[in-house]
Amino acid sequence: MSTTFTINGQPYTVNLTDLPPDITLNTFIREHAQLTATKFMCLEGGCGACVCAVSDGKITWTVNSCLKLLNTCAQLEIITCEGLGNQLTGYHPIQKRLAKMNGTQCGFCSPGFVMNMYGLMEQHGGRVTMEEVENSFGGNICRCTGYRPILDAMKSFAVDSTIDVCEESVDIEDLSMKARNCPRSGNACKGACRQSKLIYEDGSQWYWPSSLSEIFEALENVGDSEEFMLVGGNTAHGVYRRSPDIKHFIDVNGVEDLHQYSSDKEKLTLGASLSLTETMEIIRSTSKQSGFEYLEVLWHHIDLVANVPVRNSGTLAGNICTKKEHPEFPSDIFISFEALDVKVVAMKGVDDEKEMTLEEFLGDTDRKMLLKAFILPSYPKDMYIYDSFKIMPRAQNAHAYVNAGFLLELDGNSKVKSARICFGGIRPDFIHVTDIEQLMVGHSPYESNLVEQTFSKLEGLVKPDEVLPDASPAYRSKLACGLLYKFLLKHAPDAEVSGKFKSGGELLQRPLSSGLQLFQTNKQTYPVTQVVQKLEGMIQCSGEATYMNDVLTTSNSVYCAFVGATKVGATIDQIDASEALQHPGVVAFYTAKDIPGTNTFCEPSFGYEAEEIFCSGTVRHSEQPVGVIVALTADQAQRATKLVKISYSSPSSDFKLMPSLKDVFSSATPDTSRIIPLVISKLKEVKFSDKPDLEVRGIFEMGLQYHFTMEPQTTIIIPFEDGLKVFSATQWIDQTQSVIAHTLQMKAKDVQLEVRRLGGGYGCKISRGNQVACAAALAAHKLNRPVRFVQSLESMMDCNGKRWACRSEYQCHVKTSGRIVGLSNDFYEDAGWNTNESPVQGHSTFTAANCYEFTDSNFKLSGHAVLTDAPSSTWCRAPGSVEGIAMMENIIEHVAFEIQKDPAEVRLANISKKSKMATVLPEFLKTREYYSRKKEIEKFNANNRWKKRGLGLSLMNFPVIYIGQFPATVTIYHVDGTVVVTHGGIEMGQGMNTKIAQVAAYTLGIDLSYVKVESSTTINGANSMVTGYAIGSESVCYAVSKICETLNARLKPVKRAKATWVETVEAANAQLINLIASDHYKTGDMQNYHVLGLALSEVEMDVLTGNILIRRVDILEDAGESLSPWIDVGQVEGAFVMGLGYWLSELLIYEGDNGRLLTNRTWNYKPLGAKDIPIDFRVELVHNPRPSSSGFMGSKATGEPPCCLAVSVIFALQQALQSARQDAGLPREWLRLGAPTTPETLLLNAGHQVSEFKLK
């Protein structure tokens, strides 16, 4: 049986039985249509890389193609990013605007952003507001840019836009593509070509019912022991993985009875299969009717559910049925509907229909019961008060810590007639707080005695369960109480509420974000220092830019997936893959025994301790790969991994599982065998004063951070003649080539790598991706066929090392002036199971004094690596520097707190008067109005009990140290004078290729359009240093500049006055002058230098929830003379926001019993999103032309240093918390905030008790 749809206007007729019944649209687009603009990463609707648009001829909407099943696409027009616009047909205005306004870096996320914006414009007929635009990207993650330039580009299309556009205005009609025609009828699709039933060879069945009766006919075919799925949007797969044993798929999307809605004066009836987006449109229009005003509150709550593409596909019934199947699911639809006493219309047969409460439906055991509709009552606003709340770890696209819905019915005397007090996120069997509902009846909800009784009882009634990785019961209990208090504060008459308390009734209100970018250029060196569009920007925005997984291979390609060990500390006895090898599509399974060479993906000759590709003995961490499954499809490989059985010998009796740094230090006497001293101070003891003015001691803790590159660890291996062609997402082609060669006992010359670009790196692709590369190479070598290995997000987070967690134990003696006269800092960093890639001896130590003045006699620093039962930690953006600078800045803040001086003054007291920072800091404080803003904050805090603000400062002295070598080659073509550059660096979003092109154009004296930078290979880039440590761009630019000067010297004899560049090149070629030159940068060619930076962060905290807004951030960074200012500003913004995520939201939790990482998905690991960034984001690059100590052409690094400044937000939160604690009557005490400081951390440190919840 075949189905028909179109992609970018091209008809596709597909025999569905040739494909799996649950194949996704993303898989078909990429692997069958071979269109690569549509990416994937998380495969659960949480990252936005996979977003495309679909149209039924009437409306267009965006979907997560990784969730949308292909069998639901019949007669739809699918639009991908390259179909929206490309080099051949012309670019779409959205693509052009995003590229022009510096909205791409690595570019892997760009097609998803473009398509999401396109869908928004289509949905609103081309007329959107800036608020609608900024609110619509909750499902799109960007790890590179910090979002600001993306939001500016998209908001520039709004009807109320105030964004300066750097290109000519665009006719709004150009923003829309006309709907394609249905290929069968020639008319807009009307669903006339729908199929009814399909049976697959394995017995699986897919149904396309068009009526309720046909649904029940399909359900009758489902055996009692068989699994089935009512298919709507398939969005629940993003929460709970779909069972592989489903045999019956019943697509209910075509049943019109389930999409109906109606309203009268008494009720609104919503069809069960209405999408959340359709529901929002209906309730917004209905909210204008008398009695339904409360629906505006419901609209805002549903707007917090998931993200736009998920809401476009996910249905009301799907959400409630997920709650039925998984009672612990914190459904926002359920909690809102339950508070509103919404009834469901449920069916057990065509003629068996009844109205039920939600509680009755959830409790019914009939698994074939069908939801038909939801009935929402009318609630006149003069008789009812309704509100709901959802508190999340970030602003959008996160499930609730706790959600709540409250409905009060009032009598004529404004006393409670009935109450519905509902909470989610407490425990599966807890919804209504019945005792409080009954307590309120007969009273005004704002009576002081009632309020006091309510909260004295509520705290004892709300008893959350303890289930990792959920937030603690203590937090969720206090948060639930705070939400009911917030409800009362919000709705009480002004006369009933103290003015100081009133603001506590509102959630934090985020205005539109904006930014300011200040820098200078030097026209004498253009195009160097000139603002130019990123070289790859346009093809990134159209999806035409090639990444590793976009490399096309032949049809006999196979796919890989790791099999992981589960018993940490045990020894593997036997691996039985017999069942897995019988699984459909499985081709092979390989373990350590199959490796012909060395079983390590870290090259010992590069200074590494060996790390096994496949575990052959003791299991070092949970999910450590023991082998690799090879199959015909990626899904088949993933499913087969679950069928491999591993038997183990028990760990030694003295083994104690410790997967995290906190586990090691949980006892008073940590296990010293796990602590390895790496930096031992020459100073045995600090010469502390016998009588210090003050002694300050403390502990400062920073957690792990996952890199969260949008591009997964990816390697494509193609056997070629007598060797391998390798396309691997690596930051270090030299090491990847080496480990593959040694794994297979091949010569390096037979392993040739090519890297066009990476979809982000941040350090995780220096060595960690080699494990994937070696496994793929082994499979290709054994099978002699192309192999594609794209590691899943869960596997990456389970197997890949993270940023080194750190613990600092410090002691210092201080003068009342703030001057530190003696300091001891013992720090401990989480190595994982070995000490490879340790920053302890490097930047952690180099930056530990930051910009402050100490002597050899008063500063003792000791650094240790701590072995834990987790993957070996690895480099992560500004490795060691983030920890080192934060440790010192925290000490300064702690000292300032104890001596009760302004932190800025304490910093100045410890900075050498000869230092440049001694001049820069006072000026920065002045121009950023530091002292006046502090007074405004103090006034705000005095006037508000439940909202608090703070202003945090951080300084940075970041050392840049040149090491290694980078070769490059420049080729001039005599035909037209164009130039191609190849080099050994890796473009991964930092703008290396653009800077290289600018330098080449400047040095050769030609227009930038003449220059192209090609892929990095192990031929032209042989023996290259890793691209990292913030030195790659400058180093390769140096090499290219030398080469271009060599070429200039060759051209000089034939260069004639007034001759054009092309004429000069032609003349040189005629005389057989070599127009190809190579050279390299090497250690010693450029001087090391330091990057100074300052940041000031202003925050506002909701004391009752722990949520925050970053109101404003000012960053000043010494960028020397920026080679490419827009790129450098983008690097500053992106690095800072990645740092904010580290300090605020990115929490990694290991299960203590088995060492399993519990936060290994987008569902529970939360980098910051577009509405978490600073509302007012100001970046200035200090213009410091040609400082003697700076790098190439006076430039300085920008990709890593700004990450170190984000700690300023923690210091701002410390101030906000101190004000809250003062109001709570607590003694003044320094709080141990660290990374991450989550809403849970903030609320539990705010110090208030539920007994303080009063209206006056």
DSSP string for 729-792 = --S-HHHHHHHHHHHHT--GGGEEEEE---S--TTTTSSTTHHHHHHHHHHHHHHTS-EEEE--
Distances (CA, A) of 454 to 408, 484, 1057, 1155: 14, 9, 91, 41
Alpha-carbon gap, residue 507 to 106, rounded angstroms: 35
Annotated binding-site residue? 142:
yes
What contacts 24+ positions apart, CB below 8 Å, involve 1043-1047? 1043/968, 1043/969, 1043/970, 1043/1077, 1043/1078, 1043/1079, 1044/970, 1044/999, 1044/1000, 1044/1003, 1044/1004, 1045/1003, 1046/1077, 1046/1079, 1047/970, 1047/972, 1047/1004, 1047/1075, 1047/1077
Q: Rounded to 5 degrees, what are φ and ψ at 347? A: -130, 135
Alpha-carbon gap, residue 120 to 952, rounded angstroms: 37
List the beta bridge partners of residue 1244. Answer: none
Annotate 19-61 with three-state secondary structure: CCCCCEHHHHHHHHCCCCCCCCCCCCCCCCCCEEEEECCCCEE
DSSP string for 635-647 = HHHHHHHTT-EEE
The number of beta carbons lying within 10 Å of the beta carbon of residue 249 is 23
Q: Rounded to 5 degrees, what are φ and ψ at 69? A: -80, 140
Alpha-carbon gap, residue 711 to 731, rounded angstroms: 13
Alpha-carbon gap, residue 596 to 90, rounded angstroms: 50
Structural tokens at position 254? 């075509």
How does strand 1176-1182 pair with strand 514-518?
parallel
Catalytic residue among 217, 1200, 1229, 1240: 1200
Distances (CA, A) of 362 to 271, 421, 664, 864, 887: 18, 19, 44, 53, 51
- In one-letter notation, the amino acid at residue 891 is I
Tell me which residue of 791, 790, 699, 714 sits closest to 753, measured CA to CA: 714
User: Is 1027 buried (19+), middle (13-18) or exposed (0-12) by CB count in 10 A?
Assistant: buried
Contact 786, 717 (CB under 8 A): yes
Alpha-carbon gap, residue 630 to 676, rounded angstroms: 39
Q: Spell out the residues 6+ positions from residue 822 whose beta carbon is closer than 8 angstroms to its own.
A: 686, 687, 688, 689, 692, 812, 813, 858, 859
Alpha-carbon gap, residue 322 to 237, rounded angstroms: 10
Annotated binding-site residue? 47:
yes
DSSP string for 682-710 = S-SS----SS-SEEEEEEEEE-------S
User: Catalytic: 1200?
Assistant: yes
Tell me which residue of 74, 436, 388, 23 sits closest to 242, measured CA to CA: 23
Structural tokens at position 1119? 């960028």
Farthest-apart Cα atoms in the chain, separation = 102
List the beta bridge partners of residue 389. Answer: 404
Annotated binding-site residue? 52:
no
Alpha-carbon gap, residue 733 to 770, rounded angstroms: 10
Annotated binding-site residue? 1037:
no
How does strand 1108-1118 pair with strand 625-631?
unpaired
**What b/e sequence results for 431-445 when a residue is b if at least 16 CB atoms lie within 10 Å of its CB, and e otherwise?**
bebeebbebbeebbb
List the beta bridge partners of residue 645. Answer: 576
Annotated binding-site residue? 109:
yes
Q: Is residue 361 within a helix (H) or strand (E), and if so which, with residue range?
A: helix 358-363
Which positions make up the binding site for Mo-molybdopterin? 731, 877
Which positions make up the binding site for FAD? 371, 390
Which positions make up the binding site? 42, 47, 50, 66, 106, 109, 142, 144, 371, 390, 731, 877
Which positions make up the binding site for [2Fe-2S] cluster? 42, 47, 50, 66, 106, 109, 142, 144
Catalogue the active-site residues.
Answer: 1200
